Amino acid sequence: MTRKIGIIGVGHVGGAIAHSAVVQGVADDYVLIDTDVDHVEAEALDLTEAQPNLKYHANITVNDWSALDDADVVISSVGKIALQKTNPGTNSRFIEVPHNVKQVKSVAEHLRATKFHGVLIVITNPNDIMVTLYQKLTGYPQNKVIGTGTLLDTARMLNGVGQAFHLDARSVSGYNLGEHGNSQFTAWSNVKILDHPIIPIAEREGVDLADIEDTSRNNGHFLFQAKGYTNYAIAGAAIRLTETILSDSHSELPVSNLRPGHDVYLSYPAVVGREGILQQADLDLTDAEEAKLAESYKFVSDKYHDIVAHLDEY
């Protein structure tokens, strides 16, 4: 039984995902789709020519939507982060909305014409809004459309905590919740280091948790200013989510998903497996954290409904 992954949008992020997946042997078959034909064909050739020196073999198909019919996972990495250069210093993923809404509408139309019935992973920004839009436009089951959401921001938080306490980030547990954007927050009441609550330890050792939270929220903007794009960390998040689905591992991850009573996606821990979202977690948050989560949801919901109200204009 082979595993197949489709990647739609093979720019800095999509290319990094494809490379990482091929090197790690995540799948056997790959379908790379991009409107820039020369670029995507070159990416496929580059990956093919790397294989004699790699451990795993990969079959690569280019720009064939029908090849997605039996894909296990399709990843949407379409986007145009370079648009943020039109507003220097602006830390907002919403600058990409006009371009990305058009892309999502087109991709959704192409996907509906296929027999794809796997799990759709959305990286496209603003993430929570675009994953909601994808689900509405494709009509796919809600549990089978997932956004990477704060899986990336959580990794940045875990890394920041690890550095502050001289620990490997994998010795830290906890989550960033809410929007994959400026209204997200770290649920410090649930963060632990070496299985101990972090708040009293941070107070005793004089570690500024607010500074770590700000860094996890803003590092994407820092990287964009320095590199012109971000790719490795988000590719790592996408690969982790993809492997969780392919292996049916039933792992709890902070991904963008649709919770009961909500009409837009938002990041909150959920159990993920072969069928997508299998079960939603229920964290014990403080009243202040519950309020932050509600504020983040309202912000995303308001933005989404404003976009949908003008969808025909995109």
Whether the Cβ atoms of residue 257 and residue 145 lie closer than 8 Å to each other: no
The residue count for the chain: 314
Q: Is 180 part of the annotated catalytic residue set?
A: yes
In whole angstroms, give the CA distance from residue 9 to residue 34.
Answer: 5
Nearest to 185 by CA among 285, 117, 112: 285
Say if residue 160 is exposed, middle or buried (CB neighbours under 10 Å; 0-12, 13-18, 19+).
buried
In whole angstroms, give the CA distance from residue 239 to residue 244.
Answer: 8
**Residue in this structure with the two tokens 């492997």, named with its chain if needed:** 243
In whole angstroms, give the CA distance from residue 44 to residue 32.
Answer: 8
Among the listed residues 12, 57, 166, 180, the single catalytic one is 180
CA 230 to chain centre: 12
Nearest to 238 by CA among 3, 23, 57, 7: 7
In whole angstroms, give the CA distance from residue 16 to residue 18.
Answer: 5
In whole angstroms, give the CA distance from residue 18 to residue 21.
Answer: 5
DSSP H stretches of helix in 78-120:
97-112
Structure tokens at 171: 């010795």
Residues labelled catalytic? 180
